A and B are shown apart, each in its own frame.
Chain A
Amino acid sequence: MRRQPADPHADPLALDGETAERLLTGRLSPAQAPPGYAEVAALLAAAAAPPAPEELTGEAAARAALRAVTRARAAGSRRAARPARRRRVGLVAVVAAGALATGGVAAAATGHLPGPVQGAARSILVTVGSDEPAPPANPPRASTPGSGATGRGPASTGATGRGPGTTGAAAPNLKGLCNAYQAGEGAEQGGKLDATAFQALARAAGGREKIPAYCQHLLPPDKKAKEPRQPAPPTPGQGQGQGGRPPSGGGGDNGQGADRP
């Protein structure tokens, strides 16, 4: 039992950078680890162990989301040929079904809906790739200093912006659809569900009747996420730059972790 180090000035847990790196990349077995680090090596190996079956649930939901996005995107590009204005008004009218009591379609079309409904309408407009301009009230994402390098370039406004890059990028925002669905709850839902966007939601949910349960699962209890949010993908430039890196050797799960200088 190592109680006290012989030399009171020696650090019993001294760790050099090379050893730390081997620990972090799983290249140091507990038997090889320096004094005091065998348990750490075992711990990290357990943390990076092969997946257990219970970690692989949820694939069906993810696939459903992909399906919904793909279909809505296809529908969006088919529709791109039609006049944008008609499309927009129609969609807003659909989304505003739950807001008719407060002024309804006209208010929606002019951007004067009550908060929650406005948010829902915006989600749908984003969903179907409408060219509705981003509302000024859209709060900028809080950003971590220095994180801009990680794929948060100018493209990050793409979701709501009008840039040419967003044309036809009609990803259905399932959470947005759920928000809209729930915002319109109590209204006549049969009409709402005819909208292409809501059909995507119904498909993702596995049927119209399953939408409430699906949305309940999708939206946290506090009904967050009024805004579609996701960091922009890396710019092509960034991707290419990283593509130029030498391929990581080893091939293990942590192989690329070894790409230290």
Chain B
Amino acid sequence: MIGPEFPAVLQAASRGDEAAFGRLWHDLQPRVLRYFMVAAPAAAEDLASETWLGVVRGLDRFRGNEPSFRAWVFTIARHEVLDWRRRAARRVTEDLPVNGPPERAAPDDPAAAALDDLSTRAALAMVATLPPDQAEAVVLRVVAGLGVDRVAAIMGKRPGTVRVLTHRGLRRLAERLGADRLRGVV
């Protein structure tokens, strides 16, 4: 969060002030990258770059406060994911086996990895094993730090649906982690 200075920072950045833009970037880039590590891990870095290109292009037209700016950035990010999935699907239907279908990059046993070493990367890989909608809802809440209503708007779902998705996601994580713990103990 940038806080009370946000309006001034945003205004300066939209005029081309690099230092101000750098503050926006530093605040959101890690979150954006982590979102992609869950939603499109094979292309996380590329999609993060694309997202910032989109932000740069639209910056001077954006109006809103800091939470809505953050939601806007993640709206762009989500469009990148959707486009990427479409392209990935097209690659498959074009029968070009070069890259193969998109795969969720996850360690062999993310749960074990997460328990041994709670690195951010392992935690995200674990979240990425959830069904896609659940994973996306959880990561937008937890990592992007967005409220239910904003996540719902970004995902094109109702707030109640987002609550159900995150609830199921948390539960499933608890099941996976609990089963893993028992396996480790026995």
Contacts and interface: CB of A to CB of B under 8 A. Distances in A.
A260 B147 contact: yes
Given A17-B163, A146-B156, A147-B153, A47 B142 contact: yes
Interface residues of B, number: 87
B104 interface: no
A222 B33 CA distance: 21
A175 interface: yes
Contacts of A248: 67
Interface of B: 1, 3, 13, 15-16, 18, 21-22, 25-26, 29-30, 33-34, 43, 45-46, 48-50, 52-54, 56-68, 70-72, 75-76, 79, 82-83, 86-87, 91, 114-115, 118-120, 122-124, 126-127, 138-139, 141-143, 145-149, 153-158, 163, 166-167, 170-171, 173-175, 177-178, 181-182, 185-186
Interface residues of A, number: 87
Given A165-B61, A257-B141, 20 more contacts: A36-B174, A40-B170, A43-B127, A46-B114, A47-B123, A47-B142, A55-B29, A56-B29, A56-B30, A62-B25, A144-B82, A149-B153, A150-B75, A233-B63, A243-B68, A248-B67, A255-B1, A256-B145, A258-B147, A260-B147
5 contacts: A48-B143, A69-B56, A147-B156, A174-B53, A239-B64
B182 A234 contact: no
A154 to B, nearest CB: 13
Nearest to A253: B145
A52 B120 CA distance: 9
A41 to B, nearest CB: 10
A175 B145 CA distance: 30
Interface of A: 1, 3, 13, 15, 17, 20, 23-26, 36-37, 39-40, 42-49, 51-52, 55-56, 58-59, 61-63, 65-67, 69-70, 73, 141-142, 144-147, 149-151, 155, 158-159, 165, 169, 171, 173-175, 218, 220, 222, 224-225, 228-236, 238-240, 242-243, 245, 248, 251-261
A256 B59 CA distance: 22
Nearest to B163: A17
A233 B48 CA distance: 18
B170 A23 contact: yes
B18 A234 contact: no
A234 B174 contact: no
A119 B124 CA distance: 37
A243 B65 contact: yes
Contacts of B49: 58, 61-62, 218
B60 A169 contact: yes
A106 to B, nearest CB: 31
Contact of B141 (A24, A240, A251): A24
B68 A234 contact: yes
B62 A234 contact: yes
Contacts of A147: 153-156
Nearest to A51: B30
Contacts of A25: 141
B68 A1 contact: no
Contact of B30 (A55, A169, A257): A55
Contact of A13 (B45, B65, B66, B171): B171
A125 B2 CA distance: 35
B149 A259 contact: yes
A252 B181 CA distance: 30
- The 10 A-B residue pairs whose C-beta atoms are closest, nearest first, are A239-B64, A70-B16, A147-B156, A51-B30, A144-B156, A230-B54, A46-B123, A39-B177, A259-B147, A233-B62
A67 B16 contact: yes
Nearest to B141: A24
Nearest to A45: B118
A20 B59 CA distance: 34
B91 A230 contact: no
A257 B173 contact: no
